[in-house]
Amino acid sequence: MIDVRNIHKSFGELEVLKGVSCNIAPREVLCVIGPSGSGKSTLLRCVNQLEKVNSGHIYIDGTDVTDPKINIDKVRQQVGMVFQHFNLFPHKTALNNITLAPMRILGLNKIEAHERAMNLLGKVGLLDKADVFPNKLSGGQKQRVAIARALAMQPEVMLFDEPTSALDPEMVGEVLEVMRNLAHEGMTMMVVTHEMGFAREVGHRVLFMDEGIIVEEGTPDQIFDNPQNARTQSFLSKVLRA
């Protein structure tokens, strides 16, 4: 479904991705873990071209998204994204955050978009917040609205960029719960996370990244119980001890 082939990405002098290749099969949940600055968020952002790669190719359903000639907006409609800082539209209610893109892009009328949004709000447990503006929502609620907003485009794959990192600890659970349900429904997901418990329980496969490369890759059991690489071992010993 997604095929990343040997991508390099630099910000000025700093090379953040030094030849990364990976792939995601349909209905697969891929978790990307690693220390801060390892390039995992950049990798995720390259997939939907919020960052342009310096070299390499990324194929989504066979389309090379690094090709400047393709219509990236069309591709992005199939690729939902959830941000660390939610990025809800502050001037729109929860409901209108969700209906905006389906109405403007897919051409849904108000009633259709409204119905779709209410379904999704029900799914993330926020039916009662439909008419509330983002500044009146808690972090966990914001992130759940953001997930609903991305789902409203009915994407084939969802990208999660540290979705719980900006949350108070007591709100992490409600967001992970929504993601867990999504995974069980068979959504293809690429999740950059620091939640090792989630990666282990929900992930089908785990990538460990450090200093711009994929150091180790395997099933959650392989990575968490029997890491082969010394860097993986040292990282996990630090985060799992905490």
Residues lying near another protein in the complex (CB under 8 A) are found at 48, 50, 73-74, 76-81, 83, 85, 87-91, 100-101, 104-105, 146, 149-150, 153
DSSP state letters, 63-109: EETT-TTS-HHHHHTTEEEE-TT----TTS-HHHHHHHHHHHTS---
Q: Least distance to another protein from the beta carbon of 49, Å? A: 9
Residue with smaller CB distance to another protein, 83 or 224: 83
Nearer to another protein, 120 or 150 (CB): 150
Our CB check for another protein shows the closer of 151 and 214 to be: 151
Nearer to another protein, 106 or 213 (CB): 106
Q: How far is the CB of 7 from another protein (least distance, A)?
A: 18
One-letter amino acid of 63: T
Q: Provide the β-strand partners of residue 207.
A: 32, 217
Name which of 136, 163, 165 is nearest 150 in CA terms: 163
Least distance between another protein and beta carbon 46 (Å): 13
In degrees and rounded to multiples of 5, residue 49 shows phi and psi of: 65, 25
| Residue at token pair 């990208």 | 159
81 or 196, CB closer to another protein?
81
Measured from the CB atom, the residue of 50 and 236 that comes closer to another protein is 50
> How far is Cα 83 from Cα 58, in angstroms, rounded to an integer?
20
DSSP structural state of residue 3: E
Q: How far is the CB of 87 from another protein (least distance, A)?
A: 4
Q: How many residues does the chain have?
A: 242
Radius of gyration of the CA atoms of the chain, in A: 18
**Least distance CB 101 / another protein (angstroms):** 4
Sign of CA dihedral 113, 118, 120, 121: positive
Smallest gap from Cβ 124 to another protein, in A, equals: 17
- For the record, the structure tokens of 211 come out as 């200093």
